[in-house]
Structure 1
């Protein structure tokens, strides 16, 4: 009798387990990948609807749909999908500023037996014609430029660098392009100098570090003249960082190089009243084996002024770099920097800091 009861219990257990397994919802897609093919960026967003069926025996609930990037937005059936019924997942893809091939995944989390499902959308975005205003974003009268800053980057002393910006004449008349307020160390030319209507060209700049006494970051503002005349908003700028060129120094020169040291690199003047003037001197010492040259001392703003007592420091000697901070018109925490450019190959640019609090 006991053996018979045990067999009945086992049969019931297996039956219940089988019913439990069959009762779980399952999600089934006819297609898990959709190929949009070639789509034009200018036509805007595209969409596809994935259809699925609940092949289980319990309601199917989609908890979340997550895409691999923000360019694809999902919508899905929010209500429970009954057994043998269908639901949908709609994916919208935005091709703007995304030229080329794409392959995005969509992860579906649900109460289905499978746990997660992965869908994919693929395709190729072809970039359409862009408006002139998007290509040439800056306007100077009848011409447009892609940008108005010529960045020359790092320019070792004694060398020169070239950069250019593309331009176009958007007017109905020819224009002649020249420049004003151009310093001696910069050469500016337009090619061609006379632009016909609709014609494209370039403005080319050459930065010659040999012709300037500047060191460190150099920011220059110049003017574009149209047919020899000044017009509004005609500024074009250039930026460069002039540095000492140590590339030709051999081991002997490096071993006998100057070496800069400071008694301190920071000074906190504490708390002062607005209008007070703070004076402080940083002591600079040459612990190297040849003359240390202070190429330039640059402050972070006009509120500090610094002129070293001398610019050439023999080995073993020192000099002071006086700093003046005028707190007039300032309040709160102040952080100023003083950058010293030298011929020390290990430390060609050194930064000193002056800080404190100005109260009214």
Structure 2
């Protein structure tokens, strides 16, 4: 009987030991997996990504993204963000109501920490493709590699989409072919922008692709039935062959907030 009880007690201890070892193994795997997941090197620290990508977001709303950081060192490592980006605040996960990360935090030894990025775009000049970089200081060393913030920012029009008072952007044409261009030439084309709606049309922003210059219209507010001119210039210097460029016009037209204009040409070298 004693041997039987001892054997049962022994089995319980063995099972308990196996259970504890399993838990330890799982925790080890989780920790190791997360540290491997943080594979982007920033000085002595490793980040889970080198970019905070917000995707498509809207003016006036608030968005949050988290970023994990791993310290593989045997000493705690100080981290600080040097510059500011309008509309974006950075917090440590444990001090959301406390100071910004610009004052610096310490990433503890062999630990994974989390930064919280809060973005509230309010400036209409940020419409379209948003790309800004945070400059990092790790262990008191200013890094050459920066942390990228990117998003596609749009305006929201839910309140006026069904209203008869909204503006309506109309183009004389949204495509122009310059034909054959000699390298170094800078041909221009004038596009007419007309407001065929009932409300005032507001040109928020003009965004041109590389090698293309779009001069914003003198009249940013176009009354109902009126029009303005958008001047687009293509710089062919250093280019050859067929070229195709785009210009995006951001406005308060709720049904067409982003109007794309295309130009193209064949560049010949002397």
The answer, yes or no, to whether TM exceeds 0.5 is yes
Deviation of 1:183 (Å): 1.5
Partner of 2:261: 352
> Structure 1 stretches (4+) deviating beyond 4 angstroms?
127-133
The answer to whether the 8 Å contact 2:161/2:254 transfers is: no
Calculate the TM-score normalised by the size of structure 1: 0.61
The answer to whether the 8 Å contact 1:182/1:188 transfers is: no
Deviation of 1:241 (Å): 1.7
Change (3 A) 1:347 1:212: closer
Partner of 1:174: 76
- Residues 1:247 and 2:158 aligned together: yes
- Residues 1:309 and 2:218 aligned together: yes
The answer to whether the 8 Å contact 1:169/1:197 transfers is: yes
Partner of 1:149: 51
- Structure 2 stretches of 5 or more lacking a match? 1-28, 95-104
Q: Distance in 2 between matches of 1:132 and 1:206?
A: 23
The answer to whether the 8 Å contact 2:214/2:247 transfers is: no
Change (3 A) 1:230 1:158: same
Change (3 A) 1:277 1:213: closer
Higher fraction of helix: 2
Given the alignment, which residue of 221, 232, 237 partners 2:148? 237
Calculate the TM-score normalised by the size of structure 2: 0.80
Q: Equivalent residues in 2 for 1:197-276 (5 A)?
A: 197-211=109-123, 213-233=125-145, 235-249=146-160, 251=162, 254-276=163-185
- Structure 1 stretches of 5 or more lacking a match? 1-126
Partner of 1:24: none
Given the alignment, which residue of 228, 236, 240 partners 1:331? 240
Q: Distance in 1 between matches of 2:228 and 2:77?
A: 55
Deviation of 1:128 (Å): 9.0
Give the paired residue count.
Answer: 231
The answer to whether the 8 Å contact 1:299/1:306 transfers is: no
Q: Distance in 2 between matches of 1:255 and 1:130?
A: 59
The answer to whether the 8 Å contact 1:178/1:190 transfers is: no
